[in-house]
Structure 1
């Protein structure tokens, strides 16, 4: 098993072990699930599709993306499920007791770790991945986008088209192109320099994600709610809390999912530690996000730099349909907002075909075209 270290905002290491991987960032070990691209899905001219980094929701696991990722992998796209801090058994193996290292759960810390992981994927692939975040994962992805937009705002004017066509980003041999621990044959130093100068993702897709509190009063209300939820999970335990959580109106449409899918959802929710879930509420809840105005500004700036931003809401999810409507208006169309029919909060489970079709369009738009002979 090989290791490779990238110095960017702290020490980063990655390991490869079959389809289950681990990613260390400043002392925290994040789980990663990988789905290898199918050789039968190779594109015309041998050009592989842009890779995809998928970030799950609260109390879920990377496996929530299994069906989506497998279909995308069959179509030729390498996929990585990034597991958030404290989610799943052994999730804090690099940090010990989660209560002793609460900073690992901070929204900004997880966003920086996600950006670092995207840089490594981009370095191996030769092109920055499409970043997809669902619900809480969308919150972390949006925070990462705000950080990336801030970096660009501080003086970088690098054009994404030029980045994609750079000789330093020439594609590796297909069998090795996304071996996170492999040593691809190209100018790594030049590659890393270019990646640090731009957002390390080709496009951003937010699924049923909040965009931040509108003002200080809203932020305080969210903080009080999230701390109350944290106290509840600590007091009741995971099983009782998740019975209550699954009954929230937000998840009502999931009652129509096939029984086996509902069972997998519940099993995933129960495979969590109560202290980790509580810390996720307290340290990475919606109250910790940038304001709605800051978030929308950042998304518009990324779109202006040539990084497509999409927002998806389910038709049956009134709360996030309203978020989509506000975002569409406030961004003046810079963010592509879509409402998916017959879907609730979890679009990629409830209407997987529609979700995969939309994501496939995004991937196709970002995938470099083969050079003319």
Structure 2
């Protein structure tokens, strides 16, 4: 499905029980709403809303990087949620989607009943770190534009962050690869420039204001994000951090059954 939201076409999927508690799922960089398809059955008791983030899936890829910025993404999502009649809901975000979930919650804490964050961060603390990251993301964006989506996907699936995915069955790896290949290269480049970790605000100081229950999910093989989650947990008032054994950055792909169990437990009244 698509809807015109604030001047751009936004793609989204719905699944599960239309009368169930709403759960919004935000995918990561190079993903789409299709990234969550296998959880439709596992979480069928809930009303599932799965948007394509700006520049991904069926959502338009605006030319201006500024249109991908955190405040724009938050405004787009809020307008979509209003269109869908969502006044209060649970919010789950993975990696880039987790960063956007953190940004959305900072802007609209009254709408988020429960927050679930997988392998993500509130951003970089210093302007020096953010500037360095913007430079590296800019170079990667230029690579996508110059070499195309297939060459970028070959590069992206071989970065150390996704090393543990090489153990996945071939069918699963092909599904992930096809999801990445289905994205518009200009959309991915714009996303890197506009909503990369170096481009977003730092939300570390906001965490202490999050009054809703927060669940953090990480894999033991993803040491960087385990450490980030542990630091986040020290700043969150109501938090539960679950680390899944023998999983890397993409827990929902590497151990989907365990991931679904954690999510269902986090969503219990």
Q: Same fold (TM over 0.5)?
A: yes
- Unmatched 5+ residue regions in structure 1? 1-20, 39-47, 150-198, 366-373
- Is the 1:314–1:340 contact (alpha carbons within 8 Å) kept by the matching residues of 2? yes
Q: Which residue pairs with 2:62 in the alignment?
A: 98
Task: Please identify the structure whose Cα radius of gyration is greater.
Answer: 1
Q: Which residue pairs with 1:296 in the alignment?
A: 204
4+ residue stretches of structure 1 with deviation over 6 A? none
Q: Which residue pairs with 1:129 in the alignment?
A: 89
Q: Which residue pairs with 2:132 in the alignment?
A: 221
- Is the 2:65–2:193 contact (alpha carbons within 8 Å) kept by the matching residues of 1? no
Determine which of 254, 262, 265 is the counterpart of 1:358: 262
- Is the 1:207–1:312 contact (alpha carbons within 8 Å) kept by the matching residues of 2? yes
- Unmatched 5+ residue regions in structure 2? none
Q: Which residue pairs with 1:64 in the alignment?
A: 35
- What SS does the corresponding residue of 1:24 show, helix, strand or coil? strand
Q: Which residue pairs with 2:248 in the alignment?
A: 344
- Is the 1:61–1:87 contact (alpha carbons within 8 Å) kept by the matching residues of 2? yes
Deviation for aligned residue 1:120: 4.4
- Is the 1:49–1:363 contact (alpha carbons within 8 Å) kept by the matching residues of 2? no
TM-score (norm 1): 0.68
> CA deviation digits over 1:69-100, x for unaligned, max 9?
22111xx2111111111113x532xxxx732x
State how far apart, in whole Å, the 2-side matches of 1:53 and 1:120 are.
14
Q: Which residue pairs with 2:80 in the alignment?
A: 117
Q: Which residue pairs with 2:15 in the alignment?
A: 35
How many aligned positions are there? 269
Deviation for aligned residue 1:321: 0.7
Alignment of 1:181-200 (within 5 A): 199-200=110-111
CA RMSD in angstroms comes to: 1.8
Q: Which residue pairs with 2:165 in the alignment?
A: 254
Deviation for aligned residue 1:49: 4.0
> CA deviation digits over 1:273-305, x for unaligned, max 9?
2111111000010012222xxx233232122xx
Deviation for aligned residue 1:361: 1.4
